[in-house]
Amino acid sequence: MTQRATTPMILALLVTTMGFATLIFVQRATSPPLIYGAYYAGTLFALYLGVRLWLPHSDVLLLPIVTLLTGLGLVLIFRLTYNIPGVKSLALSQALWILVGSGTMLFIVLFFRNYSRLFNYKYLMVIAAFGLILMTFTPLGYEVNGAQLWVDLGPVNFQPSEFARIALTIFFAGYLADKRDVMAATSRTFMGIQLPAIKYFGPVALVWAGSLGLLIFEKDLGSSLLFFAVPLLMLYVATGRIAYVILGSILFMFGSFVTFLLFDHVRVRVEAWLDPWEDPDGTGFQILQSVFNIADGGLTGTGLGAGFSQTIPEVQTDFIFSTVASELGLVGATTVILAFLIFTYRGIKIALLAGDDASKLLAFGLTAMFAMQTLIIIGGVTKAIPLTGITLPFVSYGGSSVVGSFIITGLLLVISERSGRREAEELLPPEDRL
Amino acid sequence: MNVHLRRAFYLFAAGFVAMVGMLAYWQVYARESLANNPHNGLQTRRSIEAPRGLITAGDGTVLARSEGHKTKGGTVYERVYPQGAPFSNVVGYWSVRYGASGIEIAENSNLSGVTSDPVTLDDLINQMRGGRQPGNNVELTLDPELQRLAYEELGQTVSGRGSAMAIDPKTGEILALVTSPSYDPNNIDDNFPELIQDTAAPLIDRATQSLYPPGSTFKIITASAALKAGVKPTDTFFDPGYLDTPGYRVYNYQGKDYGELTLAKAFAFSVNVIFAKIAINEVGPQLLYETATDFGYGDPYDDFILPVTGSDLGYPVNQWVEGNTAQIAFGQDRVSSNVFEMGLVGATIANDGVMMEPRLVREVRSPDGIIIDRPAQSIRRRSLDANTAETVNQLMQGVITTGGLTQAEIPGVKVAGKTGTAEAPPGEPHSWFVSFAPADDPQIAVAVMVEHGGEISPKGDASTPAVTIARDIMAAYLKHEGG
């Protein structure tokens, strides 16, 4: 029984087409070479057909949502950067990154159907992750906007942390699946809180603390938050022990306080969040411009292309959601949030249906990363929490981010394929089983 | 494990819902206050990128329009004021750097169009399509001919400083609201620093924002109070040429003494001593205070579309002693007013004691001509009963006929009016005239004030520039309105 979602797929492509049509015909934006649009639609539709063909039992809704979100991102990046004086046009390079991401995903779909092998190399994953993060401290690494996040590899520049966190999620999933029973069954208590055995918890804490520490020195606050929250959530799901969450929260508060005291860049972010009016043209400028633009959108938005979100520095990457809220209004922004929620829902569903612990934990870890990343940046640009630089998955401009998000989608697809196939086989009458 | 997976999902879902809540807070609840935040430059940017609506006079003359210039980044709009300085106190300016004033800011939500919620279906469609929405057009009640005429004549007086207000007493539509000197609102960004330093204060609207002693024009109010107290126009009073009050001696203008004369004649010749006597002996502080309040003294007019400085009697009534009452009776001491208020006083007498709501905006239309707002005429206050108002009307006609104020005459038209020569040391007195015409069917009421315009000639007569300006305004209006 092969499931299909051709209609959502076509709808997602239509939304993208309408977005471009609005910009070109109503806003009289100069038309980009239309052939690129056709490439984009062709690539994603081919990707969809390929996944249906090679992974017939995999989740059907993930790809239409990915198409919708990447399409929306492409429209917005085009709107924010194409043919605007003094701004480098980024739409074509984003389209290229979507192509690279699609290719990477196809590679996973074709060659990682037996993804469980990855868990055998879980310690290698840790080394790879640390290696990636450490690369930014080598001469290849360089600083952008005060954060040491980038690596220059000749033709391409990338943000290693986008990939390091996927590797670490694979490690945590594999390790916790092995040790979850022993980690849950501990009896030592401290002040009423049951403590895990150091022997089993040690490696987790070590990897956790190590990656966090490196990221904080990199000044990559957004990723630090993710690296902190995702393993904690995985630990909770693996052991079912709320103690980990409480302990984690205490650690978090303590850690936040220490980083606040130790690092100027953290203090600046928090102060800009608490009182941006203190320095409205300096440290508070970015968040205030974001809030002004969001408010400017109102219920129905200014209309695509009619807002002023170009006033926000870095709008095409971290602040792209402000453009969504400004130009599509509360209605449009809620729809986009709903799309992210549906992706999260499908991810959790994949975790629920997965047959083994490691698969469950991997699907959950990847989904949690996706959901937390979305919440951290939307919360940041709406001033719900302090701003930490991180991309909005699939929508923001950025090669590493797009490719990373496609890798997450690919892994979720192969996990869902396995449980979907098992389910399909169970549904067959016994005599038809092989 | 599945239980915890579900719980984690609820956590994420709660997070997403909270984000929608946060957005709703900014986009619905806090939207207005953020839009008006001084650090928010989006509105001014919008005004550059989208054309603002037109501001037109009552006959369609364009007073403000947006002119587009093609630039590399798209079309940029600039505000142009074809009629320039005579209208700038009303129309205002729109500066990216220095903010805005007048109708430009008061009607901004109409003129800018985009900040308002969609009103017509076209608005909604346009907004959904994200098109640049031109703002709505605002039509004023001003008669451009009167506005220009008054501005020119005020500019030609000795001081060149003064103000005028003309109003249709039956509808409350303001026909002219003029201040001199004024400024050219075009290129305000370049000229503003100089204008703000100018000692002649061209940015101040003398018609609405400055206050002056109204002098004898205040006798319209004192006479109304006297009639309410039972005094008849034919009642006689004796004027020895002065009146002593504790600590203050009242003289007549230029020290004349008139002997015995009626209230009507005392009004026509503007005899201070008699008005002081009537105010003290017949009216009393309380009734004079109440009558002035009924005419709008003490009213801040903060519901009016332009900022108005309210007229004032100077002291709370319980602090008036005889000396104050005597001087307040002829608009001196600390009484302060402007042509906006005194024009309304004249219009109220003209309209049988009923003050209509003064209005400057006739209607607001969307760019495609659909009426969005048309303020209805309404009564602001009932100041006098019709009979008393008619009697004051007669008294005011007597100023021209009995008083021999030939400068105010318009051939074939009965004119009613009251002069004022308000002492304003150290300079020459201010010249005032409050009037309306035709007196038997008033079409227009006018108040004019010329700062230090009451120049004393060697013969001892004060020149009365305010009278001729008011007459010219009324004559011009009756000529083109009467056909």
Within 8 A by CB and 6+ apart from A250, the residues are none
Quote the pLDDT of residue A354: 92
- State percent of chain B over pLDDT 90: 67
Q: Does B40 touch chain A (CB under 8 A)?
A: yes
At A380-397, the pLDDT tens digits run 999 999 888 889 999 999
Q: Which residue of A has its CA nearest to B40?
A: A292
| Cβ of residue A213 closer than 8 Å to a chain B Cβ | no
**pLDDT for position A85:** 67
DSSP symbols for A182-212? HHHS---EETTEEPPPHHHHHHHHHHHHHHH
B129 to A357: CB separation less than 8 angstroms, yes or no = no
- Give residue B257's pLDDT: 84
- A234-238, A358-362, B123-127: range with highest mean pLDDT: A358-362
Transcribe B250-300 into DSSP letters.
EE-GGG---EEEEHHHHHHTT-HHHHHHHIIIIIHHHHHHHHHHHTTTT--
Share of chain A above pLDDT 90, in %: 40
CB–CB of B16 and A348 under 8 A? no
Whether the bond between B426 and the residue before it is cis, its omega within 30 degrees of 0, is: yes
Nearest by CB: B30 against A288, A295, A305 = A295
The answer to whether the Cβ–Cβ distance between A329 and B27 falls below 8 Å is yes
The least confident of B150-164, B240-254, B376-390 is B240-254
- Nearest Cβ partner for B23 among A84, A240, A382: A382
Q: Shortest CB distance from A27 goes to which of B24, B37, B130?
A: B130
Q: How sure is the predictor about B113, in pLDDT bands with cuts at 50, 70 and 90?
A: low
Q: CB burial class (10 A; 0-12, 13-18, 19+) of residue B14?
A: exposed
For an interface test with B, the pick among A286, A289, A292 (most B C-beta atoms closer than 10 Å) comes out as A292
Residue A344 contacts residue A370 (beta carbons within 8 Å):
yes
Q: Write the pLDDT tens digit of every residue in B178-232.
A: 999 999 999 888 888 899 889 999 999 999 999 999 999 999 999 999 999 999 9
pLDDT of residue B378: 95
Omega cis (within 30) before B246: no
Higher-scoring residue by pLDDT: B60, B454 = B60
Say what the pLDDT of residue A426 is: 82
Whether B482 and B147 have beta carbons less than 8 Å apart is answered as no
CB within 8 Å: B42 and A293: yes
Contacts with A357 from chain B: Cβ below 8 Å: 1
Residues 6+ apart with CB under 8 A from B146: B166, B175, B176, B473, B476, B477
pLDDT > 70 in chain B, percent: 90
Give the whole-angstrom CA distance, residue A10 versus residue B272: 90
Question: Is B40's CB within 8 Å of A351's CB?
Answer: no
Out of A340, A357, A384, name the one closest to residue B22 (CB).
Answer: A384
Q: What is the pLDDT of residues A394-433, one digit of tens each?
A: 999 988 999 999 999 999 999 999 988 888 888 766 655 5
Q: Which helix (H) or strand (E) holds B446?
A: strand B444-450
Name which of A157, A53, A47, A36 is nearest A102 in CA terms. A47
Of A305, A308, A348, the CB nearest to B9: A348
Residue tagged active-site, from B47, B112, B216, B366: B216
For A392, residues 6+ apart whose C-beta sits below 8 A from its C-beta are A73, A318, A320, A321, A373, A374, A377, A378
A378 CB within 8 Å of a chain B CB: yes
pLDDT tops 90 at residue A217: no
A306, A360, A379: residue with CB nearest B130 = A306
User: What pLDDT score does B443 carry?
Assistant: 96
Q: Under DSSP, is residue B313 helix (H, G, I), strand (E, B) or coil?
A: coil
Task: Kindly report, residue by residue over A334-372, the tens digit of the pLDDT.
Answer: 999 999 999 999 999 999 999 899 999 999 999 999 999
What mean pLDDT is reported for chain A? Answer: 85
As a whole number of Å, the end-to-end CA separation of chain B is 92
Q: Is residue B131 less than 8 Å (CB to CB) from chain A?
A: yes
- Residue B119: exposure state from Cβ atoms within 10 A (0-12, 13-18, ≥19): middle
Structure tokens of A142?
């360089």
How many Å apart are CA B410 and CA B443, to the nearest integer? 14
Q: Which residues of B touch A338 (CB under 8 A)?
A: 16
- Could you give all domains of chain B from N- to C-terminal order, each with its CATH number? 43-140 (3.90.1310.10), 144-187+200-361+378-481 (3.40.710.10)
CB A410 within 8 A of CB A109: yes
The answer, as to whether pTM is greater than 0.90, is no
Q: What is the pLDDT of residue A336?
A: 96
Contacts of residue B329, Cβ cutoff 8 Å, sequence gap at least 6:
B218, B219, B222, B272, B275, B276, B278, B279, B280, B283, B288
Residue B162's nearest CA partner among B125, B92, B103, B212 is: B212
* pLDDT tens by residue, B52-84: 899 999 999 999 998 887 765 566 788 899 999
Cis peptide leading into residue B438 (ω within 30°): yes
Chain A contacts of B23, Cβ < 8 Å?
A: 294, 325, 330, 333-334, 337, 382
What letters, b where the CB count within 10 A reaches 16 and e where it falls short, cover A132-154? Answer: bbebbeeeebeeeeebbbbbeee
Give the closest-approach CA distance of B53 to chain A in angstroms.
18
Which residues in chain A are contacts of B26 at CB distance < 8 A? 291, 294-295, 325, 382
B37 in contact with A, Cβ within 8 Å: yes
The phi-psi region of residue B448 (left if phi > 0; otherwise alpha if psi is between -120 and 50; otherwise beta) is beta
Q: Are B223 and B347 contacting, i.e. CB atoms less than 8 angstroms apart?
A: no
Q: Which of residues 281-340 of A touch B (CB under 8 A)?
A: 281, 288, 291-306, 308, 311, 325, 327, 329-330, 333-334, 337-338, 340
Residue A148: the pLDDT is 62
| Span of A42-51, A212-221, A326-335, B441-450 with lowest mean pLDDT | A212-221
Instruction: Give the position of tokens 């600590």.
Output: B247
Distance CA A411, CA A105 (A): 8
Measured distance CA(B471)–CA(B445) in Å, rounded = 10
pLDDT band per the 50, 70, 90 thresholds, residue B86:
very high
Contact list in B for residue A244 (CB cut-off 8 A) is none
- Please report, to the nearest 10 degrees, the dihedral formed by the alpha carbons of residues B114, B120, B122, B128 taken in order: 50
Mean pLDDT of B281-305: 95
Give the dihedral sign, CA B221/B222/B226/B228.
positive
The two structure tokens encoding residue B48 = 């550059």
Angle formed at CA B66 by CA B60 and CA B70, multiple of 5 degrees: 140
Mark which residues 77-136 of A lie under 8 Å from B by CB: 84-85
Residue B56's contacts (CB-CB under 8 Å, 6 or more residues apart) are B62, B63, B137, B138, B139, B140
pLDDT in the model for residue B112? 80
Residues from chain A that touch B72, judged by Cβ atoms under 8 A, are: 85
Q: What percent of chain A has pLDDT over 70?
A: 88
Domain range summary for chain A, segments of one domain joined by +: 116-432
Please give the distance of CA A156 from its chain centroid, rounded to a whole number: 20
Q: Which chain A positions have a beta carbon within 8 Å of B130's beta carbon? A: 22, 26-27, 301-306, 327
CB contact under 8 A, B27 and A288: no
Catalytic residue list contains B216: yes
pLDDT score at A1: 43
